[in-house]
Amino acid sequence: SSKLTGLNSDQLLISSGAHSALFCLLSYLKRKGAKTIAAPEFSYPGLRAMAEQLQLDVVGISMDEQGIIPEQLQLQCAKQTIDVLYVIPNIDNPTTATLSVQRRESLIFLANQYDLTIIEDDPYYQFIDEKLPSLYNMASDRTWHIATISKCLSPSLRVAYVASPNINDALGLTEEMRISHLMAPPLMTAVVSHWIRHHKIDEITQAIKTENIRRQSLAQSIFQQSDIASHPASPHLWLRMPHGYKALDFAEQASRIGVSIVPSTAFVMFRSRSQAVRISLGASSDYESLNQGLTLLSDLYRPGLIRSKTIV
């Protein structure tokens, strides 16, 4: 949370991970009257599941290589009432897109114009060299900021920090968290606090970032002729399918040769023609097994080898 400015400590909450924080936040926003969430067409799968549980509508907004397209958001806002905008601004999961300053400004403009509450989910900020402005800093009066520890340190640490627009909202979310999980796990929170006080966070995240860069470099060398989207320090990459091929079929074929990837259907917020898979580079325990797995995928990806069950 050091990147956030003008933040009162009473506005900062500690949650049992980003997933729990997001669910509690959506529950709180629904209690305040929210009914519809806008999100990039490919988004965190948990968002869709939470919305269904809370009986909230999710509207998918088209994306390009830079992320969510403001003009498409504006078209949707003109058609219907949108209450909440969910976005991962840095190294999007799953597409790896990072919003430019201009695009962030456009989203803030639309949020002000249509009175949108923004949920800024920012798990990969520590891996970004170009320190782009936080949406929270650009519009703190309407933005919630979620910063998790699990992506940049360890998934076993279920600790996340939530910055609220004001103290009253912080109190409201506190009540939702108390109902949901009572408190953040004390032992995990103590570990993270100790690392913060002794400046271990930067040391650990830098080591993970360095390894991510090494693995991304390997992936780039293997997928030279493929249609991929990535970020140099991202723990995953986004491999787009050739025209006419289905991501689900590719993922199933990869599974048969011992490689686990996630098809775009797991992330889609609305019916999309785009077909891609997310490849996690951190799942392999060592560099050699990663090299082997990526090579198998690259060979499978070659035109003529992917077999689609669906006739297009």
pLDDT at 131: 80
pLDDT at 5: 82
Classify 15 as helix, strand or coil: strand
pLDDT in tens, 235-294: 999 999 988 889 999 999 999 999 999 999 999 998 778 899 999 999 898 999 999 999
pLDDT at 13: 97
Q: Are strands 84-87 and 36-40 parallel, antiparallel or unpaired?
A: parallel
pLDDT at 79: 97
Cα–Cα distance, 213 to 230 (Å, whole number): 11
8 A C-beta contact, residue 91 and residue 71: no
Which domains, and CATH codes, for the chain? 9-197 (3.40.640.10), 201-301 (3.90.1150.10)
Q: At a CB cut-off of 8 Å and minimum separation 6, what does 279 contact?
A: 219, 236, 237, 238, 239, 261, 294, 297
Q: At a CB cut-off of 8 Å and minimum separation 6, what does 251 contact?
A: 261, 262, 263, 277
Given a cut of 70, the residues of the chain with pLDDT beneath it are 1-2, 303-312
Strand-pairing partners, residue 84, are 37, 117
Return the structure tokens found at 167.
């103290």
Classify 169 as helix, strand or coil: helix
